[in-house]
Amino acid sequence: MISALVSVIFQIIIILALSPLLSGIIKKTKAFFQIRKGPSIFQPYYDVAKLLRKDSVISQNVSWIFHAAPIISFAAVMTAGLLIPIFITRLPLGFAGDLIAVVYLFALARFFTALASLDAGSSFGGMGGSREMFVAAMVEPALMLSIFAVALNVGSTNLSYISQTVSGLGIDALSPYQILAFVALFIIAIAETGRIPVDNPSTHLELTMIHEAMILEYSGKQLAIVELGAMVKQLLVFSLLANIFFPWGIASREAGIVTIVLALVVYIIKIFMIGIAMAVVETSTAKWRLFRLPDLLSISLMFSFLALVSFIIVKGG
Amino acid sequence: MLSYLFLGVIAAYLIGSVSALILNKKDRSCTYASFLSASIASILGIVFSFSVLSGKNFEFTAASDLPLTYGLFVDKLSAFFILVISITAFAVSIYSIGYVREYYGKKNIGYLGFLYNIFILSMILVVSANNVVMFLIVWELMSIISYLLVLFEHENKEARKAGFIYIVMTHIGTGFIILSLMILAGSSGSFNFNTFNAAAAALSPGLKDAVFIFALIGFGTKAGIVPLHIWLPYAHPAAPSNVSALMSGVMIKTAIFMLIRVFYDFLGADVAWWGMLVLILASVSALLGVLYALMEHDMKRLLAYHSVENIGIILIGVGVSMIFMASGHPTLAAFGLIAGLYHTINHAVFKSLLFMGAGSLVYATHTKNIEDYGGLIKKMPWTALFFLIGSISICALPPFNGFVSEWLIFQAQLSSIYLSDNITKMLILFSGAGLALTSALAAACFVKAFGVSFLALPRSEHARHSKEAPVPMLIGMGILSLMCIVLGVLPFYFIRIFDSISSPLVGVSVSSMINSDLSMATISAFPATISTAAIAVLVFVVIPLPVIMYLLLKRTPEPKYETWGCGQPISTGRNEYTATAFSKPFRMWFAGLFRPRREIQTTYSDSSFFKGGVRFESQIEPIFEKYLYDPIIWVVVNVSRFMRIIQTGYLQTYLLYILITLVISLIYVGSGG
């Protein structure tokens, strides 16, 4: 019981501590490719800390939804964080949900953020909310097919089970269907974390933004919670990629302290690698027009489709 | 004991209807008499169904010398549907006490109360009839009463059109139902349902297929499967909102009941392509239902299209289960069926809740157009909360009830790995992708429906002057909101009940495979668990608590200010994003399906430099009506024109026809035909 509580709290702390750093590293990498100096990798921490101390200016049109949405969204994302194995497959709360539940918890967070976007009565919020739900709907079928491909391959939708099994397979886990599913999920991760070419996290042009438009009316402490929630979600999406497809090095349930520390280091390296890869993608592509996005996500759908079909053909069931 | 209870249910509904007629001059007492007895009757119905679910089946046959007897047969499946009807009817009846005030002095409440009670009673009899004749009589009673309810506001031209489409479609459906049941009755030589299983076994495969297809078309019409759904978005919104709640929430479920009855009980669900056909139709219904809902801006029509979607989701569960059944995996079939049954009660609960919410909006604003709502959360906080709970549930977001049933369906679809046929396997898995898309689109639709209606500023005078619905309406919605939560966080309790329903149908019980946290670890090698209760506690208590505490402890001034509108003050609802704008990306994405047409006309005042006004019109093309039904109607009308030659309008001619018919019949019989 005590050890379960300790590991839950430890997981929360690791997630909260790492997610701003990941954002900082992505920003720094982008700055490097754009031949800029860029802000320090610790800048997101300073931003959140500053916002947490500031006053909030609240629109006079809003209702309780506007106040509740950041908290519920943050809580939904953090709950998802407790269902995803980060660097150790021991998850005391892992019984509460599987991969599908994680996807739907992200959807719950998105639902409330989108509602809040409509609450202030400005057109920008509505635009953001509408586009966010649009992108989410395009992502969903490909996401579910890749989840199916992974789950069928491993034999479960339970995340620690997936990590443990794939990790145990060693290099054999790099099957064609697994790789195809990874490509599909990588494209989905771009959309889910709101990165170029789907969305531009650093844009301040109202007409092109998606996520930023939704949270335009937030300021001060609430903005801090929203921003932190977005960073945590980003970390979790990358963790899903890392621990579903290359979980090697993840500590098993009964691992000793040395293995755990080693697993943590390996995990941090993996996450940062994905972050840097994401930054490379971001700097090497331009943002796509909203109505070209179905093309991109169709590519992802095709990959997940191929993953599933090749799995069925190879394994035969 | 059980028979007295059932008698009590019938008596209470009859008392409700008769007293409504007697008191029809006094609006207030008539309201209380009819709707209170309906709620008492539904409590009795709940008690009755629970006692059947936990005990023995209930059977009653009237002694008669005639070959046509009437009788009742309530097994666990029927009892479950009586439970669904009764729970919904209970909440809706209480809601109605407040809602019908809308009609005081304008409409005859006695007439409404009478029809309302008989309508619920007819649904209960539909699911408990034990023979074809009795079933067809009560089925027809249900259809006609609901037709009269659709026509309740007959001064509206729309309601009359809706009623017409409904009555035509429902009778086409009944025609197919009669065909299907008569094939079975012809084989068994009896009208009794309990002989049909043996009768179906004796049928040739071709006739069995015919029974299946006719039942699918007949009951599918009532359920609203695409492309037989076209009556549903007309008829459900036209009825008074309390009746819409019952029609969308439970009436279409009686068709699901009969589909399960015919497929499993009568036919044994042992043909593989049946399940595949059901699955394909169900996936198409789910997807098209939600897509049309997204384009809809009439609140009640939007909800009606979501019924098409959810019937699809229920039938995805049933279809997957039928495929497993036919391929000899009864355990997996049980999971599919349990998922379908779970979604049945979930949909009944949240759809009735949402229709009641829509009714409150109509009550407060006198319009069904969501573009005219806005900012209602401040005027109607309770309605908003209940509508939000319904929205989260229908979007299948955890930890509410819709999530549990969709999760179960996903797990059943994953179990297709145990099938040997690759094509079937892929079909099931792709239906999973379709389901995922459906639920994401549903989420978009309800962000639109809730956000545009309840949030930000009022968009019309009506919305500005609205006020909260009366207390009975809130209680009705509150009961079902509570049910959404209970069904969401205590799935293991309900799954046991559904298992006891499905086990006689598929032949195996899976209760030993379900843990209390809803894990199904022992289903072959497929361990997966969810615990919605834990998710609920984490999302709504454990994690928000420290965040809220931080916000309260470090409280700083929160100055209120105008919303940023590029320098222009936002003081009215005119700057808000509309529902049409919100759904625009989806309209563009599915332009091939919707074929949107838009028209923009700018008028100029004084000179061409000053715009006087802009008229914007956006329409989508109803492809099913245009390309499927219009040609059929064209053929029917032309054939009728030809048939008119024999319809002279003279009585003598008709007498001659009768005589000729009689003579021919006598000759036929006389010649030993």
Annotated domain spans of chain A: 2-315
End-to-end CA distance of chain A: 39
Question: CB neighbours of A180 closer than 8 A, spacing ≥ 6?
Answer: A149, A303, A304, A306, A307, A310
B457 chain-A contacts, CB cut-off 8 A: 61, 121
pLDDT in tens, B333-368: 998 999 999 999 999 999 999 999 999 999 999 999
pLDDT of residue A153: 86
**Residues B543 and B651 occupy one common structural domain:** no
pLDDT category, A208, cuts 50, 70, 90? confident
Confidence at residue B393, expressed as pLDDT on a 0 to 100 scale: 96
Selecting from A95, A206, A290 the residue whose C-beta is nearest the C-beta of B519 gives A95
B323 in Cβ contact with B424 (< 8 Å): yes
Q: Quick one: which of B269, B286, B275 has its CA closest to B223?
A: B286
Q: How many domains does chain B have?
A: 2
B319 in the same domain as B453: yes
Q: Is A213 on the interface with B (CB under 8 A)?
A: no
How many Å apart are CA A59 and CA A67, to the nearest integer?
A: 11
Q: Which residue of B has its CA nearest to A124?
A: B577
The answer to whether position B146 is within a domain reads no
Q: Is residue B641 part of a domain?
A: yes
Q: A119 and B456: CB-CB below 8 Å? A: yes
A48 near B CB under 8 A: no
Q: State whether B508 and B383 are in the same domain.
A: yes
Closest residue of A to B445, CA-based?
A133
Claim to verify: residue B507 and residue B654 sit in the same structural domain: no
- Judge: B564–A148 Cβ closer than 8 Å, yes or no: no
Q: What letter represents residue A278's amino acid?
A: M
CB contact under 8 A, B426 and A312: yes
| pLDDT value for A175 | 86
Distances (CA, A) of B199 to B191, B208, B412: 11, 10, 31
Q: How far is B547 from chain A (nearest CA, A)?
A: 7
Chain A residues with CB-CB distance to B455 below 8 A: 62-63, 65, 115, 118-119, 121
Residues of A in contact with B538 (CB under 8 A): 75, 78-79, 82, 93, 96
Q: Does A131 touch chain B (CB under 8 A)?
A: yes
CB contact under 8 A, A141 and B517: no
In this structure, what token pair is assigned to residue B615? 């008229």
Query: Is pLDDT of A137 > 80?
Result: yes
Domain-embedded: residue B122: no
CA distance A130 to chain B (A): 5
| pLDDT at residue A273, as a whole number | 95
**What's chain B's length in residues?**
673
Domain boundary among B494, B525, B551: B551
Whether residue B55 lies inside any domain: the answer is no
Please indicate if any CB of chain B lies within 8 Å of the CB of A236. Answer: no
Question: Does A140 touch chain B if contact means CB atoms closer than 8 Å?
Answer: yes
Of the partner residues A101, A216, A309, the one whose CB lies closest to the CB of residue B535: A101
Q: What is the ipTM of this complex?
A: 0.96
> Are B631 and B547 members of one domain?
no
Per CB-CB distance under 8 Å, the chain A contacts of B417 are 152, 317
Beta-strand pair B611-619/B597-604:
antiparallel
Provide the sign of the torsion angle of the four alpha carbons B583, A299, B406, B432, taken in this order: positive
Is the Cβ pair A156, B528 closer than 8 Å?
yes
Residue B351 and residue B222: Cα distance in Å, rounded? 17
User: Domain end: B551, B566, B584, which one?
Assistant: B551
Q: What is the arithmetic mean of pLDDT over A81-102? A: 88
Share of chain A above pLDDT 90, in %: 62
For residue A93, give the nearest of B419, B457, B534 by CB distance.
B534
What confidence tier does A317 reach under pLDDT thresholds 50, 70, 90?
Answer: low
A269 touches chain B (CB under 8 A): no
Task: Report yes or no: B386 and B255 within 8 Å, Cβ to Cβ.
Answer: no
Residue B521 tokens read as 């670890």
Residue at B346 is within a domain: yes
Name the residue among A81, A143, A167 with its Cα closest to residue A297: A143
Mutation target for A interface from B529, B541, B568, B574: give the one with most A CBs within 10 A. B529
Q: Check if the beta carbon of residue A80 is closer than 8 Å to that of residue A236.
A: yes
> Is A122 close to B411, i.e. CB distance below 8 A?
no
HSE-CB of B87 using CA atoms within 13 angstroms: 27
Give the pLDDT confidence score for residue B673 in this predicted structure: 56
Residue B264 domain-assigned (yes or no): no
Contact A104 B433 (CB under 8 A): no
pLDDT for residue B65: 63
The residue assigned the tokens 């209390």 is B516
Q: Determine the residue of chain A that is closest to B432 in CA distance.
A: A144
Look at residue A97 in the predicted model and tell me its pLDDT: 87
Contact A217 B563 (CB under 8 A): yes
Please tell me whether residue B617 adopts helix, strand or coil conformation: strand
Interface test with B, best of A64, A102, A134, A300 (most B CBs within 10 A): A134
Best of B453, B537, B555, B563 to disrupt the A interface (most A CBs within 10 Å) is B563
- Closest C-alpha to A233, from A128, A109, A51, A87: A109
The residue among B496, B517, B551 that closes a domain is: B551
CB neighbour burial string for B625-635, b if at least 16 within 10 angstroms, e if fewer: eeeeeeeeeee
Question: Which chain B residues are Cβ-neighbours of A206 within 8 angstroms?
Answer: 566
Residue B5, burial from CB neighbour count under 10 angstroms (0-12, 13-18, 19+): middle
pLDDT of residue B57: 87
pLDDT value at residue B526: 58
User: Which residues in chain B are contacts of A296 at CB distance < 8 A?
Assistant: none
Contacts of A313 in chain B (CB under 8 A): 422
Does residue B84 sit within a domain?
Answer: no
Q: Is residue B154 part of a domain?
A: no
Q: For residue B436, give the nearest of A56, A118, A144 by CB distance.
A: A144
Task: Tell how strand B560-561 and strand A58-59 pair up.
Answer: parallel
Which residues have C-beta within 8 Å of that of residue A128, sequence separation ≥ 6?
A114, A117, A209, A210, A211, A212, A213, A214, A215, A216
Q: Which domain holds residue B472?
A: 273-280+295-551
pLDDT above 70 coverage of chain A, percent: 99
Give chain B's residues under pLDDT 70.
63-69, 516-527, 673
- Do the chains contact at B430 and A158, CB–CB below 8 Å? no
What does the pLDDT read at residue B522?
A: 45
